[in-house]
A and B are shown apart, each in its own frame.
Chain A
Amino acid sequence: MAEAAAIRIRGLRVVRKKVLVIPGLDVDVAAGAITGLLGPSGCGKSTLMRAIVGVQIVESGSVEVLGLPAGSADLRHRVGYMTQEPSVYSDLTVRENLAHFARIYGVDQGNVDRAIDRVDLGSKADTVVSDLSGGQHSRVSLAASLVGEPDLLVLDEPTVGLDPVLRRDLWALFRSLASSGTTLLVSSHVMEEAVHCDRLLLMRDGHMLADGVRDDLLAATGAADIEAAFLALVEQEDGR
């Protein structure tokens, strides 16, 4: 299963807000695995994710998700998307937010409790979101993308700003989702997050510097960690 591609992108070219963000990209994302999309902020990670979930106007190229063109109506049940800014209603409680998204998915309210448990917000379920801390706020946003139990989760910087304990718990959650067959694409600008991923996409200026398994990237560059590997690849690219 891990060899099959959940996402297949060919010749993707995206202009976002009048800036050429992705000039031409070919990439595959493996099914049933955690793929880390790593790169500095502004390199095009969010734009790529928006193209995958079908909310980005694409200039050319094809984006195929679970065998269908990105943004197809049939995919909307199967893809969960967490935007970088927490996109939930800050004037509603945690439970009201998730209940709303559950109604849209047409799943029962048991999914709401499960999603709340998964992000460990049980004690805050009836708190209005604007009264939560920043990290809790972003976990509500994560829970909203889990509530429909999608086959593909596209998570834009889900662990940013969280304390180490929570970050560990979230990666454990991602791992358990992946082992039950969910495909995860998780972006981060923190290179250390690479250790939690099955595969890595290192992105820079709208293209992929590297695509592969962490150990292979380390071996190929002779670097001790992914941050050093990234730098080595950047130097190699600029030196050309």
Chain B
Amino acid sequence: MTARRTFATTSRVLAQLRHDHRTIGIILVLPCVIFGLIAWMFSGTESQVVDTMGPLLIAIFPAVIMFLITSVVTLRERTSGTLERLMSLPISKADFLVGYALAFALAAAVQAVVLLAFAMGVCGMRIEGPVALMGLVSVLDAVLGSTLGLAASALARTEFQAVQLMPVFLIPQILVCGLLMPRAAMPLVLEWISRALPFTYAAQAMEKLQVGASTWSVASDIAVICAFIAGTLTAGIVTLRRRTA
């Protein structure tokens, strides 16, 4: 693995994004639109939904979008033959996948800044903890979404299937991560399951940051997310094959 080849992939993926204005629009605008819709929906009520649920949504939306984009984009590499060409070239599998993850991390960072600014500036979301840390959790969760997408694309044969893997990989996580109901109130088995799923830790970190917890108290959640990123990336590298049947 070399920095030059990793960045070759990163800059190529970013160049592809640059050419694709609609995808840029989806990455940057769509989360704000959905967030705004939820804020508007509860605007006439007494509830604090924007404050309590908002941070969780900021962790989850980017991950979902990045999962979809990554799984389809890498599947396109498999079906168009570009992956076959790359596998005959002096580039390591890690260069390829880490290069992808870096490109989407950068896109996710821009997305997190825009979404946080919109949520706090326009929708009036109030948080007690450091906003930069909330941005970091959002970016890490988005990177996790894209590494999951990379792994998922190995299971799909067509873009059609890749899109359908999104509910398989993500919806269970979204259901049990604490967004819909507090994890403490769930049946014990579901609570256990939620502990094995990475979104739970992103949601947990966001909840803590929302009520003003210290940086130190979310360190373990961030470490768990990073471990999941490393794990899914490694799985992606191991399952990517230079030789295919």
A96 at the interface (CB under 8 A from B): yes
Task: Look across to chain A and name the residue whose beta carbon is closest to the beta carbon of B73.
Answer: A91
Q: Is B47 on the interface with A (CB-CB < 8 A)?
A: no
Interface flag for A240 (CB, 8 Å): no
Categorize the interface residue count of chain B: 20 to 34
State whether A104 and B8 are in contact (beta carbons under 8 Å apart), knowing that A89-B16, A96-B15, A144-B85 are contacts in the complex.
yes
Q: Does B243 lie within 8 Å of A57, measured CB to CB?
A: yes
Does any Cβ of A come within 8 Å of B121's Cβ? Answer: no
**How far apart are A78's CB and chain B's nearest CB, in angstroms?**
9
B4 within 8 A of A: yes
Contact, CB under 8 Å: A87 / B85: yes
Contact B4 A106, beta carbon cutoff 8 Å: yes
The answer to the question of A77 belonging to the interface, with a C-beta cut-off of 8 Å to chain B, is yes
Complex CA gap A108/B11 in Å reads 16
A81 close to chain B: CB less than 8 A: yes
Least CB distance from B157 to A in Å reads 12
- How far is A109 from B89 in the complex, measured between Cα atoms in Å? 17
1/0 per residue, CB under 8 A from B, across A13-24: the answer is 001111000000
Q: Does B208 contact A (CB under 8 A)?
A: no
Residue of A nearest to B85 (CB): A87
Query: Does A171 interact with chain B (Cβ within 8 Å)?
Result: no
B20 at the interface (CB under 8 A from A): yes
Report A74-118 residues with CB < 8 Å from chain B CB: 76-77, 79, 81, 83-92, 96, 100-101, 103-106
Cβ contact within 8 Å between B20 and A76: no
A225 vs B167: C-alpha distance in the bound complex, in angstroms? 59
Residues of B within 8 A of A121 (CB): none
User: With a CB–CB cut-off of 8 A, which chain A residues contact B90?
Assistant: 73, 76-77, 104-106
CB distance from A103 to the nearest CB of B (A): 4
- For chain A residues 135-161, which have a beta carbon within 8 Å of chain B? 144-145, 148
> Is A213 in contact with chain B by the CB < 8 A criterion?
no
Interface-side segment among A26-34, A48-56, A174-182? A48-56
A146 to B202, CA, bound (A): 46
Provide the residues of chain B in CB contact with A84, threshold 8 Å: 81
Q: Give the number of residues in A that approach B within 8 Å (Cβ atoms).
A: 38
Contact: B80 with A85, CB < 8 Å?
A: yes
- Given the known interface contacts A87-B81, A100-B8, the answer about A55 and B243 at a Cβ–Cβ threshold of 8 Å is yes
From residue 85 to 111 of chain B, which have CB atoms closer than 8 A to chain A? 85-91
B82 in contact with A96 (CB, 8 Å): no
- CA–CA, A228 and B80, complex, Å: 36
List the B side residues contacting A132 at CB < 8 Å.
none
Q: Report the minimal beta-carbon distance from B237 to chain A, rounded to whole angstroms.
A: 16
How far does the alpha carbon of A164 sit from the alpha carbon of B12 in the complex, in Å? 34
Return the chain B residue nearest A154 by Cβ.
B88
- 4 shortest interchain CB distances as A-B pairs: A87-B81, A103-B8, A76-B90, A100-B12
Subset of 29 A-B contacts with CB under 8 Å: A17-B245, A50-B84, A53-B88, A54-B243, A55-B242, A56-B243, A57-B244, A71-B242, A71-B243, A73-B90, A76-B89, A76-B90, A81-B88, A84-B81, A85-B80, A85-B81, A87-B82, A87-B84, A89-B16, A90-B80, A91-B20, A92-B15, A100-B8, A100-B11, A103-B11, A104-B5, A104-B90, A104-B91, A106-B4
Give B contacts to A, CB under 8 Å: 4-5, 7-8, 11-12, 15-16, 19-20, 80-82, 84-91, 242-245
